[in-house]
Chain A
Amino acid sequence: DAGVIQSPRHEVTEMGQEVTLRCKPISGHNSLFWYRQTMMRGLELLIYFNNNVPIDDSGMPEDRFSAKMPNASFSTLKIQPSEPRDSAVYFCASGRQTNTEAFFGQGTRLTVV
């Protein structure tokens, strides 16, 4: 099993540009999470999908953020327009069931200049 795969690993973009982060969860996992990690706030949940359906997006900071999961093997997190304060490491994680351990990808380090 290749684990959770995220791309790109690093992204540097200018303020105002659109950014799309991609995630391929572990096959057979029903839950998918997008987290953001910063030094100040640690790991924060942005959005949770179960069986490809968004269940809770209350952690999405603003309307500039959106996430989709068109099928069980792919999810995207989009920021449009991006701002410098969006700079962080974004992680995708997947799990077999609710309330079980989640397995994380290697993350995308986003820098907005």
Chain B
Amino acid sequence: EDQVTQSPEALRLQEGESSSLNCSYTVSGLRGLFWYRQDPGKGPEFLFTLYSAGEEKEKERLKATLTKKESFLHITAPKPEDSATYLCAVPEDYKLSFGAGTTVTVRA
């Protein structure tokens, strides 16, 4: 049973072309939702934690939002350096259950 589903699998953007990634979850009693960025050959890098519906967090061109059923990662006016795989995860008991990720490619 999939707890975390991310869409789309891949996203190709032109520099400056804003877009959003989706993370939907089925766990009950959500105790947080985490976003990570992973560059090729590196470990996932923690970006944000969201705890309650309506919460928003921002970091540079990234903004994460949370509803009762899903989270969105908005990328505003992306640059090539925003190219990476973005992973979301939810805590299931003590462990983090990860989605498969969305690979974002930003072309100059």
Contact = CB atoms under 8 A, between A and B. Distances in A.
Nearest to B43: A104
A52 interface: no
Interface in B41-63: 41-46, 49
B35 to A, nearest CB: 10
Interface in B80-108: 87, 91, 93-96, 98-101
Nearest to A10: B41
A31 interface: yes
Given A100-B32, A101-B49, A56 B43 contact: no
B46 A106 contact: no
B46 A45 contact: no
Interface in A42-66: 42-43, 45, 48, 50, 55-56
Contacts, number: 51
Contacts of A99: 31-32, 91, 93-94
A45 to B, nearest CB: 5
Interface of A: 4, 31, 33, 42-43, 45, 48, 50, 55-56, 91, 93, 98-107, 109
Given A4-B43, A45-B95, A104-B46, 14 more contacts: A31-B94, A33-B95, A43-B87, A43-B98, A56-B94, A98-B94, A100-B32, A100-B49, A100-B91, A101-B46, A102-B96, A103-B46, A104-B36, A106-B43
Contacts of B99: 42
A104 B39 CA distance: 12
Nearest to A104: B43
A59 to B, nearest CB: 8
Give the interface size class of chain B: 20 to 34
Given A42-B100, A42-B101, A99-B32, A107 B94 contact: no
Nearest to B90: A99
B25 interface: no
Given A33-B95, A48-B95, A105 B43 contact: yes
Contacts of B91: 98-100
